[in-house]
Amino acid sequence: MLQFSMSCDDDELRPLPSPSQRESLEREVERGNVEYKLKMIDPSDVRLQQLVTQLKWRLAEGAGEALYEIGVADDGTLAGLDEEDMAASLDTLRRMSVWANAKMSVLHRRAVCGGMTVCEVLMQTLASSEKTELRVACIGGTQAGKSTLVAVLSAGTLDNGHGSARTSVMRHPHELESGSTSCISQQVLGFDAQGVLLNSDELYAPTGSEIVEQAVKLTIILDLCGQERFLKTTLYGLTAHAPDYALLVIAADAPIGHMTRLHLRLALALRLRVAAVLTRADLCDAAALDAAAAAVLCLLAEAGAPAPALIDTEAHLALLDPPSPTSAASSAATATAAATPPAAPSAAAAAAAAPSAAATAAAGGCTPLFVISATSGRGLPLLKAGMWRMRSRSWAAARTEPALVTVDGCHPPSSELVLQEDDPWSTTPAQEVSITDGFVVSRTVSRGTCHGYRSYLLWLYLPCPGKWHRAARQCHRRAAARRARRRGKQRRD
């Protein structure tokens, strides 16, 4: 670093006080927050990105501060620059500071031999504003296009129709071979202040760390499993990862399967806001696509999702705006009443839900349906704009609400927990399920906090007539195997 006896104005040139003053600095080192640059005049785009990366490294080494010595060679020689080259180098440094979200301040200018000047510049990272975060879980049946959708959004590239996009989000070789996800894949989407998605496949597109730095809203999108044998992994993603939204992905060229219905009921039981995406629109004609959209709207209405609406124009995006504070009280009452599944409407009534959704949305939002194609790009701009409008739920408010416990999708009539006739524990003798001071029952805690003087073992029960779901049985078998291995190890020790 240049050492001066006193500071000076930016434009003031001060000659060296005596010939005995040092004419060079110590040689530049790779680590640290000091960078020597002889000159930076009109760099190419590739070179500019390299300089920005170097600046970020120096800022990280200096905990947000870096010193640039302009006109100094790598060996520390004070070569200096003329006025024109110095102005061009400082202009390049200003361009770098914009990319690196940093502030540039010229500390000193000094004259060296031959009328040349050297300059010392301080770079400081700007304090970033608070970012909003949204967590979205992609659910739906197998081969519905969840991984392809996540890849298209996160990588900014379209699919070739044969699954080329999903290879960027799949994590295991057997997933690439089968095309089915067996684990949770997490990708980050970044939106700027204008709602533009920063993820892109352009040559100089921002990297993952740059997206996090530049974005004002981050959307973490989870790619969950669609096969029934991986339901436990899907349950883990819907609970442990605490998503704010569930993105139900349905293929337009295939009938709605039972896993799609199961995932939808599970998301609604966890009180997640749901948005539906109808994929593979390019593989259907207009009549088949309209029929598929009507079937999805009917499915959402049957499951109790609030105000299903088809989003096919930018004007319909206004339905996704969060409800006003004046409608918060009525929204809570509507949500409580809507927890009981309504009577199944007709397909025609469900198809007509989109035009009439505005009145219902004012009382608590709607359940949007987007029609897209990952191959042609149809509907993707509307989906991105819709994800920009989505808001995270208030976890603090959910904890303070009265505890709500449901049994097989029906509310208990009183504070006493009542078993339903089709509950698997209703015909089981009490002595077979009794524990220290209570019974094992299947319940879903939808909101609030369960507390008391007793210990309760709560299982999430997925309604299957007369039996536990395979996922619950797997939990029992794996826990018993772990206990057996632990006891065997203790005996051997």
Buried b (16+ CB within 10 A) or exposed e, 292-310: bbbbbbbbbbbbbbbbbbb
Tokens of 259: 């896993």
Classify 329 as helix, strand or coil: helix
Hunting for tokens 């914009």 — which residue is that? 98
| H or E segment to which residue 189 belongs | strand 185-191
* Total residues belonging to the chain: 493
Residues 471-481: tens digit of each pLDDT: 444 445 666 67
Which pLDDT belongs to residue 476?
Answer: 52
**Within the chain, which residues score under 50 in pLDDT?**
1-22, 323-364, 405-443, 446, 452-475
Report pLDDT for 345.
Answer: 38
Give residue for tokens 């490294």.
57
Using the CB atoms, write b or e for 127-160: b if 16+ within 10 Å. Answer: eeeeeeebbbbbbbbbbbbbbbbbbbbbbbbbbe
Let me know the angle formed at the C-alpha of 45 by 42 and 46, rounded to the nearest 5 degrees: 115
Q: Which two tokens stand for residue 288?
A: 């088949």
Say which amino acid occupies 276: A
**HSE-up of residue 79 (Cα within 13 Å, Cβ side):** 14
Contact 71, 87 (CB under 8 A): no
Query: Any idea what the Cα angle at residue 261 is, between residues 414 and 147, rounded to 5°?
Result: 130
Q: What is the pLDDT, as a whole number, of residue 372? A: 95
Q: Which domains does the chain have, with CATH numbers?
A: 34-125 (3.30.110), 132-393 (3.40.50.300), 404-485 (no CATH)
Please answer whether residues 195 and 385 qualify as being in contact, where contact means their C-beta atoms are separated by less than 8 angstroms. Answer: yes
Q: What is the pTM of this model?
A: 0.58
